[in-house]
Amino acid sequence: MSLSVLELIAVELERRLKTLAAASSYDTRLSEVVRPKRLETFTPKHLQVILTQGDSQRIDELSYPGNPPAVAYRQVFNIRCHVMPSERNCEAVDIVINQMRADVISVVCTPQADWYQFDGQSIDAQFEPEETISSEGIDGINLPIAIVYRTDEHDPYTRRA
Amino acid sequence: MSLHDTIIADASAVFCNLEDFGETVTYYNRDGDARDIKAIVVRDALEVLSEAGDVTSLSFAVHVVNSATLGISSEEIDRGGDMIEFPSQIGQEATRRSIVRILEHDEGMISIECR
């Protein structure tokens, strides 16, 4: 199955996050990285990342004419970092969240020189204002990242520089 | 037998009766130790979990005896890693669900929210 440019970006983002689920040089060891299904969804876990897509918008300033024209899009991915430490853990929950936040940002921004290109698929990326998660018994933080990419106007599978 | 013991015994034998609406589920504490217990599982509809609406979650209310042998005691429960295994849909394969909240509890029963 061919993957669209957008899906290739999602796959690369998920791959980078999963680096934290395996043994690595980072202090955070994720329990899992989940892209939720439609119905049978995840169960909350400690040090879990839920990766979803947010809003997408077309960016006319970064699109350009041609045959075919190149169209730029800005896609937001929500990186929801969940923490559920033991009730008997005396450590402040913010310490756990801050550690996880730092390691998630670090691993997403690796390799540092061209991290925003997501394996050559995108042209820019930046983290957006964070949102605190504290509801339904789950604590954590959402780290939205906006990724800008360009494709042929009529072919979302073809990346444009 | 004290009144407390009677309440616990009745909660297990009557309220969680497997012949009625009770079912056998498996409780896993944070360390992974497991035991089968009787419970009444109320399976709720899909709920939106995030303000953005991009994350949904299944919600369950699990009613068990407040006991470390017949159910789960309010003293032992840890909302940071304890799980209960049951089918999210009757007839389907059982999966483990995290305990996220204690909805209410008294000397006889404890109601737990799993997601």
Cross-chain residue pair A87–B54, CB shorter than 8 Å: no
Q: Please state, as a whole number, how many other Cβ atoms lie within 10 Å of the Cβ of residue B95.
A: 14
Q: What is the largest CA-CA distance in chain A?
A: 63
Share of chain A above pLDDT 70, in %: 99
For residue A103, the SS3 value is helix
Cross-chain residue pair B78–A54, CB shorter than 8 Å: no
pLDDT digits (tens, 9 = 90+) for A94-113: 999 999 999 999 999 999 99
B51 or A106: which carries more pLDDT confidence? A106
- How many domains would you assign to chain B? 1
Q: What is the CATH number of the domain that holds B35?
A: 2.40.10
- For chain A, what is the mean pLDDT? 93
Q: Tell me which residue range forms the domain holding B9.
A: 3-114
Cross-chain residue pair A44–B58, CB shorter than 8 Å: no
The span from the CA of A84 to the CA of A133, in Å, is 12
* Mean pLDDT of the region B26-30: 95
Angle at A41 between CA B64 and CA B111, to 5 degrees: 15
Does residue A135 have a pLDDT over 90?
no
For residue A13, the SS3 value is helix
Does residue B99 have a pLDDT over 70?
yes
* Mean pLDDT of the region A13-31: 93
Nearest residue to B50 (alpha-carbon basis) of A96, A55, A13, A66: A55
